[in-house]
Amino acid sequence: MKNKVMQIFNLAALLLIACSFAPASAPSGTTIKNVEAAIDVPVGGAYLVFAGKFGGEISKNEMSGQTELKVDGCAKGSRIFEYTIHITKGGKTSKLSNRSNVLTSEMLAALNSLSKGDEFEFRNTKAYLPNGKDIVDVHTKKFMVA
């Protein structure tokens, strides 16, 4: 009896060890670009999404038509209500603030005037949770125009 129990234990241990060396597979439909983007997302907490991205390179075409900021990584229905955008164009930085998730016409004009190599970043970003009372800080990352 002891021998059978020991054999089962050894078999289970062997399977556990063998499976731990199996390569991880990405979910079907995941591309290298999606995996890189997912790795870059902060673990835990809310993060800002603009044009479907959390920072990094962004093209003028991707920015075109974008008028609002979204939040992800926390309760569905959370909404950004305050932020400051720092826009660096030709080495000179300007700051614009808003108390809404929508970009102002001044912000849109500034973003549309950016060229390849210019940067912008949303800072001091806060969001309401769906209950409309609780507030969370929102993680942000710099965008670079490609």
Long-range contacts of 93-96 (CB under 8 A, 24+ apart): none
> What would the mean pLDDT of 61-89 be, rounded to a whole number?
95
- State the chain's mean pLDDT as an integer: 83
Predicted pLDDT of residue 7? 73
Q: For a pLDDT cut of 90, what percent of the chain falls above it?
A: 68
Ordered by start, the domain boundaries in the chain are 44-145
> What would the mean pLDDT of 40-54 be, rounded to a whole number?
81
Per the DSSP assignment, residues forming a β-bridge with 37 are none
**8 Å CB contact between 129 and 82:** no
Rounded Cα distance between 112 and 108, Å, is: 6
Predicted pLDDT of residue 45? 84
> What's the pLDDT band for 30 if we cut at 50, 70, 90?
very low
Rounded Cα distance between 51 and 58, Å, is: 8
- Alpha-carbon separation of residue 43 from 3, 78, 83, 139 (angstroms): 46, 17, 21, 10
**How far does CA 101 lie from the centroid of its chain?**
16
Minimum mean pLDDT range among 35-49, 59-73, 130-144 = 35-49
Predicted pLDDT of residue 3? 73
> What would the mean pLDDT of 112-128 be, rounded to a whole number?
97
Per the DSSP assignment, residues forming a β-bridge with 121 are 86
Question: Is the overall model pTM greater than 0.85, yes or no?
Answer: no
